[in-house]
Amino acid sequence: MRRALPWLTFAALAIAPFLPWGHNAGVVGLLVGRIEIFAIAAISLDLMLGAGGLVSFGHAAYLVIGAYAVAVLDANDIATAGLVLAAAIAAGGLFALATGAVALRTRGVNFIMITLAFAQMVYFGAGSLAAYGGDDGYTLGDRTTWLGWHVLDRRCFPTTAWVLLLATYLLCRMLVASRFGRVLRAARQNRQRVQAMGFNPYSYQLAAMVIGGMLCAVAGALLTNQSEFASPAYGAWPISGDLLIMVILGGAGSLHGAILGAAVVVLMEQGLGTITEHWRLIFGPALVLSVLFFRGGLAGIGGPHD
């Protein structure tokens, strides 16, 4: 069970859209796709937080960057997946490089506040883009295609998002297990000792931020395709808070825990949201109880972290 939990999670996400849900089949497909999108974003944050100890309160900025990469290219009649993903990844990486170059010169609360400040710049910057709807957002003309195939239409979206989620998980798992990941974890525990061994913690942490920003931008591109809409609201600070909750709830440092955390948050948002608009008043105490009784997060139920 310990080693099987990540693969059971992927298996559940893979088959859920194809089960006989009857009239709810379309809703389940949308829900699974949303879980997969936020799971990618949560894994990208877990690479920074779980391995590097970098608590970013502005990670949602990369969702906006990925979303508007799709919007800008769509406005210019470009919907080819290769170009769209390349643009989203490049933009996310460059913004993460700029953010990290400043934020990593600080520690603790100062680092958190700088990441939040950069995210707010993106949030208000996207809202000022009058050519792309400003605060009202931008409605997508056509979903991204791959070699002429509509791989992100409603029918294929959960499968395509699942493939990208699996690729993200395997990539981050490989990075965490590599020397890069070992140095990153060591720098989180004792920065001075890592420097004494001849490694530069700053460059490793900056690389982790850049990779995390790139991966989260992919999630933003998927989010725009699923909703067929790009909005500055994707970068609001509560979204960054939700991503942190997903990682902490799942178990920081456990990549498959980020997927479990994303699933729980999305499902509770949808389930409790049908009962009351103040669903967070219920979710908050539930989160506190889970942290108290599941010290290793949801991933700890199935065994030790990755």
Question: In this predicted model, what pLDDT tens digit does every residue of 191-237 receive, in sequence order?
Answer: 888 888 888 999 999 999 999 999 999 999 999 999 999 999 999 99
Amino acid at 304: P
Q: Is the per-residue pLDDT at 167 higher than 90?
A: yes
At residue 122's C-alpha, the angle toward residues 143 and 251, to 5°, is 80
Supply the pTM of this predicted model.
0.93
> In whole angstroms, what is the distance from residue 94 CA to residue 8 CA?
35
pLDDT attached to residue 22: 62
Position 1 confidence tier, pLDDT thresholds 50, 70, 90: low
**Lowest-confidence region among 79-83, 212-216, 293-297:** 293-297
Write out the E strands in 238-302: none
Mean predicted confidence (pLDDT) in 37-56? 93
Higher pLDDT, 22 or 11: 11
Element (H, E) at 230: strand 229-230
pLDDT attached to residue 306: 46
Query: Torsions phi, psi of 115, nearest 5?
Result: -65, -35
Helix axes 61-75, 25-46, angle to 10 degrees: 120
Assigned domain for 306 exists? no
Q: Which domain holds residue 59?
A: 5-301
pLDDT attached to residue 173: 94
Q: Is there a contact between 34 and 263 (Cβ–Cβ < 8 Å)?
A: no
Assigned domain for 252 exists? yes
Query: Torsions phi, psi of 288, nearest 5?
Result: -60, -45
213-252 burial code (b ≥16 CB/10 A, e <16):
bbbbbbbbbbbbbbbbbbbbbbbbeebbebbbbbbbbbbb
pLDDT attached to residue 100: 94
Q: Is there a contact between 171 and 188 (Cβ–Cβ < 8 Å)?
A: no
For the chain, the average pLDDT equals 89
For residue range 171-191, list pLDDT tens digits in order. 999 999 999 999 999 988 888
Burial class of 293 by CB neighbour count within 10 A (0 to 12, 13 to 18, 19+): exposed
pLDDT attached to residue 205: 94
Q: Provide the pairing of β-strand 138-139 with 229-230.
A: antiparallel
Q: Is there a contact between 301 and 294 (Cβ–Cβ < 8 Å)?
A: yes
Q: Which CATH number fits the domain that encloses residue 224?
A: 1.10.3470
Q: How many domains does the chain have?
A: 1
> In whole angstroms, what is the distance from residue 19 CA to residue 158 CA?
13
Mean predicted confidence (pLDDT) in 65-79? 93
SS3 61: helix
Position 303 confidence tier, pLDDT thresholds 50, 70, 90: low
